Structure 1
Amino acid sequence: MPSMFRPRVLAAGLCLATAVALAAAAVLRPAPAGAQAGDDSVALAEVMLTRLNEVRRDNGLAPYRVNPILTRIAFEHARDIAAHTMYSHTGSDGRKAKQRAIDAGYGAGRAGLRIGENFVARQHLDDGFQWLMDDPPHRANMLDPKFREVGVGAARMSYGYVWVMDLGWYEGIDDVLAAPPTAVPPTAAPTEPPTATPLPTATETPVLPTATPSPTASPMAPPTAEAQGSAPAAG
């Protein structure tokens, strides 16, 4: 009798585990620009990424490293598909996946850039992932040993969700991934130039005006008769 209830218990446990995984994914990674409050597409993209890397490991391949640029363009294309109900690698603006990656700055202009893209629209994630694995071209992209980085996005549609995977590689990517982060030297505090101390101003000693000596009165000689005679007559 107890065995009749075991499948239901296991199913309930799986549902609970999935719910916990979705909640944890939503908390651990911030929502990309454009995500709406209450939208679980971010968490569903995380679960799809986890499934993708599990399959990589199962096939002896290194897991994908998440790249923020690829993640951004994957979310943008997923929202574009959902908004226009179009199922194409070409966006509503006419750009394909590689051009979107270049325009976003992926690879920083390095040679040999390769971009692969998968997308699938389904009501449930498990169905969507299984369809990708069953379709040879999409499976080949997911298990391509040369691709090293990925961005996974998702968007809600009227009847379910659409998931987009953007896969990337460029020449020298292994060196870039292996390089330790460049230490940024501390910025020296700006040194203010020393303030010039003004020299003391010499105090000018007021120069007092020199008194002009009064002319000494010379004793006048009494007028002579000649002098008197030379005076003009008053008329």
Structure 2
Amino acid sequence: MMLCVRSALFSAAVLATVLLAAVPASSRPAPSPEHGPGADTARIEVRLLAQVNAVRRDAGCRGLKPRSGLHGSATAHSGAMAAQRSLTHQVAGEAELRERIAAAGYPEAALMGEVIAMGPMSARQALRRWLDSPPHRALLLDCRLRLVGLGVQSVGSQLWWTIDLVRRR
């Protein structure tokens, strides 16, 4: 009986391998690039947060804690910048940062900041740009800021990046 079960399992494994090999490569889903059309923005956001937190820990700060409300705010801002093709902290018709942070659930925020970027780049490249800019570096490495929302939007070959940082009272 055991021999029959093993034989059946082996046959099934061989059949699955043959069927997979018979599927043309063009019909298999391609891996999502980190930037450009079809970018996996959720994966990019996770990678970016890990990299930001590693840099913060190296600087003696605690890691940032992601918050869904801030993620929504950052993602909406990245989408607004992409829609208007404008790299700015406040696109036309959009609320100011303080109002966006309050609407995200942090009306009592004592300290807040935002870093933005645009371009076909990896999370590491975006972080490097911010760290090479003294004001952005200071904001990302401000140990008083503890909560974060990251939002990346992919439009064509461009990625639009927003990180919103908050400290409660």
Structure 2 length normalisation: TM-score? 0.72
Residue in structure 2 matched with residue 55 of structure 1 by the alignment? 55
2:161 pairs with 160, 163, 187, which one? 163
Q: Are residue 123 (structure 1) and residue 130 (structure 2) matched?
A: no
Contact 1:120 1:164 in 2 (8 A): yes
Q: Aligned equivalents of 2:146 and 2:166: distance in 1?
A: 6
Residue in structure 2 matched with residue 114 of structure 1 by the alignment? 111
- Within a 5 Å distance, the mapping from 1:210-225 to structure 2 comes to none
1:142 pairs with 130, 140, 149, which one? 140
CA displacement 1:132-181 (0-9 Å, x = unmatched): 0000000001000110101111011333212110000121xxxxxxxxxx
Whichever residue aligns with residue 57 of structure 2, its letter is R
- Within a 5 Å distance, the mapping from 1:9-88 to structure 2 comes to 40-88=40-88
Identity within the alignment, %? 27
CA displacement 1:50-86 (0-9 Å, x = unmatched): 1100101111110001111111100010111111101
SS of 2:161's equivalent in the other structure is: strand
Q: Aligned equivalents of 2:72 and 2:92: distance in 1?
A: 16
Q: Aligned equivalents of 2:129 and 2:84: distance in 1?
A: 22
Once the two structures are TM-superposed, the CA of residue 87 in structure 1 deviates from its matched residue by 0.9
SS of 2:117's equivalent in the other structure is: strand
Q: Structure 2: state its 5+ residue gaps.
A: 1-30
Whichever residue aligns with residue 59 of structure 2, its letter is N
Structure 1 length normalisation: TM-score? 0.53
SS of 2:54's equivalent in the other structure is: helix
- Within a 5 Å distance, the mapping from 1:224-235 to structure 2 comes to none
SS of 1:147's equivalent in the other structure is: coil
Q: Aligned equivalents of 2:125 and 2:105: distance in 1?
A: 33
